[in-house]
Amino acid sequence: MQMKMKLTVLAAMAAAFGSVSAQEVVKIGHVGPTSGAIAHLGKDNENGARLAIEELNAKGVKIGGKAVKFELVAEDDAADPKQATAAAQKLVDSKVNGVIGHLNSGTTIPASKIYSDAGIPQISPSSTNPKYTRQGYKTAFRVVADDVHLGGTLGRYAVNQLKGKSVAVIDDRTAYGQGVANEFEKAVKAAGATIVGREFTSDKATDFMAILTTLKGKKPDVVFFGGMDSVGGPMLKQMKSLGINAKFMGGDGICTAELPKLAGDAMADGQVVCAEAGGVEGDQKKAAADFGVRFQKRFNDDVKLYAPYVYDAVNVMVDAMVRAGSAQPSKYLPELAKTKAFGGVMGPISFDEKGDIKNGALTLYTYKGGKRDAIAVIR
């Protein structure tokens, strides 16, 4: 009798162990700057990934008929290219099944070679420099429009809607900042306005008085900054102190909820015009709003910028795994490339032959009363 009980207990333990071992662990890597000047954006991205992973685990997703448990492997690249490649190698060594990231173009581009060499799919939720998907890597994807679309749209808007005639351009010399500024400058010239000055700073600078004083003498009616909010905010303060009353424009790097706080009282209503890569309209607004509510409830914080794109990137990657019946990178990569009209919270996702999102949207914003105010969604 005692032997029979022991056998029964052992059988139960074996069954329990079998059910655990049958649940495959799928590792999703995420890399963003969770330290440094734009840590608020990096944490926003990471939380978007975390929410997606938690919801997928709660649903009990099966891949190839087997229950899987998703695990987030998060790394910090501090928006630094060298740290980014080290983080990428760490994820490759950890044998992650896929990577969401990086946030900046300057970190995404060097890291993309490491993922390509390892055959690991990578989806950037926010990198906009065209070079990222033009290197010939089959593993590189993005879920936002690129700088050709973003910078070009802002350049045309500066001339056609804001009636800018004398335009100054500043960039932070990063792959993102310089790239979007170049596209903006091309579009401004094509639309018939004059570039009166092109200056540069760095993504860690705090003093812009010398370049702003130079530009003030050229009397620009529009100043464009290619860079991030952590530099754009203080720049606005110094523009005000010098009496430069020009419109201030920028890409998605400055187009954040934090910009008014970083600029203090230096932002006049309607002075800033920026564009975010992405945007929702019509029925899609409800899905995006619902995501914001869930995000706030989970993290007790509002979405800063890219979190919903990270969330969509995780989900579109997992959808490809489900369709392939495998989380093995070589098996699901072809399915990821074939993605057609996946229903993301920020709109449908389809990829072209380069890995770029098809028909990517842009949203133009201004600020009123310290809050972002949408002007229009443009495709």
- Please write the tens of the pLDDT for every residue from 309-325: 999 999 999 999 999 99
Return the pLDDT at 23: 75
The confidence band for 229, taking pLDDT boundaries of 50, 70 and 90, is very high
Q: Average pLDDT in the 160-165 region?
A: 96
Q: Average pLDDT in the 55-75 region?
A: 97
Q: Average pLDDT in the 125-154 region?
A: 94
CA neighbor of 228 nearest in space, from 68, 36, 11:
36
Return the pLDDT at 4: 47
The confidence band for 19, taking pLDDT boundaries of 50, 70 and 90, is very low
Parallel, antiparallel, or unpaired for β 62-63 and 66-76? antiparallel
302 touches 103 (CB < 8 A): no
Return the pLDDT at 75: 98
Check if 22-143+280-357 and 146-275 are the same fold: yes
- Does residue 97 carry a pLDDT above 70? yes
- Does residue 132 carry a pLDDT above 70? yes
- Does residue 99 carry a pLDDT above 90? yes
- Does residue 9 carry a pLDDT above 50? no
Q: In angstroms, how far is CA 353 from the centroid of its own chain?
A: 20
Pick the CATH number of 146-275 from 3.40.190.10, 3.40.50.80, 3.40.50.2300, 3.30.465.10: 3.40.50.2300
Count of all residues that appear for the chain in the document:
379
The confidence band for 22, taking pLDDT boundaries of 50, 70 and 90, is low
Burial class (CB in 10 A: 0-12, 13-18, 19+), 336: buried
Q: Average pLDDT in the 116-129 region?
A: 96
Give the domain ranges of the chain. 22-143+280-357, 146-275
pLDDT digits (tens, 9 = 90+) for 342-372: 999 999 999 999 999 998 888 999 999 999 9
pTM, entire model: 0.82
CATH architecture designation of domain 22-143+280-357: 3-Layer(aba) Sandwich (3.40)
Mean pLDDT for all residues in the chain: 93
Helix (H) or strand (E) holding 83: helix 81-93
- Does residue 160 carry a pLDDT above 60? yes
Helical residues (DSSP H) of 242-328, grouped into ranges: 259-263, 284-299, 307-324
Q: Average pLDDT in the 96-119 region?
A: 97
240/170 Cα distance (integer angstroms): 16
Return the pLDDT at 282: 81
Sign of the C-alpha dihedral computed for residues 336, 47, 127 and 108 taken in this order: negative
- Does residue 199 carry a pLDDT above 70? yes
Q: What percent of the chain has pLDDT over 70?
A: 94
Return the pLDDT at 6: 47
